[in-house]
């Protein structure tokens, strides 16, 4: 398999791993996507070691739950796992500061913790509002958040570049409108 692995698509690697138990294919998926997952986790946590832990947990969950992957966009599925891992880890550490993150509780002031909670709460709200967008708008926005260009987004979704720009513009506008409404309701 050695020389073949790099030419397999993500879906082919997943299929080979699920059907034949080929760990080399999962290792290939890890190598392809670990940096992207790490950087996404690092945006959530400013602490590199927490981002590394979240990255590792993401791939462990993917490994355990690969049978639930129903095809399509593997990276999107993996990034949803990463987002959930980060949220779970943040909740765990915020609920139990003694065992979660003692460094944070020793050095942070209550205002910092409150503002950190507000930021996390708003991030969760943004993801909720993004899920309410059309699938096309949501997918284009997710790829933009991951750092994809218009061309890369078009290639990954099959949309034309003009359609990608339109979905992004309309998705941003709708998300902005929904967030303004949500923020005015919370005041």
Distances in Å between the Cα of 53 and the Cα atoms of 41, 64, 75, 125 are 9, 16, 19, 24
Helix spans in the chain (H)? 10-20, 23-44, 48-64, 74-95, 97-100, 102-107, 110-131, 135-145, 150-157, 161-186
Query: What pLDDT score was predicted for residue 119?
Result: 63
What contacts 99, CB < 8 A, 6 or more positions away? none
Q: What's the mean pLDDT in 68-78? A: 87
**Which are the contacts of 103, defined by CB distance < 8 A and separation ≥ 6?**
none
Terminal CA-CA length for the chain: 59
- Asked if residues 87 and 124 have their Cβ atoms less than 8 Å apart, the reply is yes
Please give the share of the chain, as a percent, with pLDDT higher than 90: 22
Decide: helix, strand or coil at residue 45: coil
- Is the CATH code 1.10.1740.10 the one for domain 1-107? yes
Q: Give the pLDDT confidence of 79-108 residue by residue, as tens digits.
A: 999 998 888 888 777 654 444 443 444 434
> What b/e sequence results for 145-154 when a residue is b if at least 16 CB atoms lie within 10 Å of its CB, and e otherwise?
ebebebeebb
Domain boundaries, the chain: 1-107
User: Which among 112, 126, 104, 117 is positioned nearest to 50, based on CA atoms?
Assistant: 104
Using alpha carbons, list the distances in angstroms from residue 58 to 16, 18, 55.
20, 18, 5
Query: What confidence category does residue 163 fall into, taking pLDDT thresholds of 50, 70 and 90?
Result: very high
Residue 148 vs residue 137, higher pLDDT: 137
């Amino acid at each position: 398999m050695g020389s073949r692995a790099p030419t397999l698509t993500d879906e082919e690697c997943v299929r080979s791993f699920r059907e034949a138990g080929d760990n080399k294919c999962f290792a290939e998926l890890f190598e392809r996507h670990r940096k992207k997952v790490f950087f996404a986790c690092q945006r959530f946590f400013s602490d590199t070691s927490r981002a590394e832990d979240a990255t590792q947990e993401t791939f462990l969950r993917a490994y355990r739950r690969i049978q639930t992957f129903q095809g399509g966009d593997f990276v999107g599925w993996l990034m949803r796992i990463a987002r959930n891992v980060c949220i779970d880890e943040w909740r765990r550490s915020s609920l139990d500061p003694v065992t979660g993150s003692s460094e944070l509780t020793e050095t942070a002031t209550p205002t910092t913790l409150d503002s950190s909670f507000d930021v996390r709460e708003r991030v969760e709200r943004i993801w909720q509002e993004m899920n309410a967008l059309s699938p096309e708008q949501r997918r284009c926005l997710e790829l933009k958040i991951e750092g994809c260009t218009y061309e890369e987004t078009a290639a990954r979704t099959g949309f034309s570049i003009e359609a990608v720009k339109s979905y992004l513009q309309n998705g941003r506008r709708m998300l902005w409108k929904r967030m303004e409404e949500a923020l005015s309701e919370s005041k």
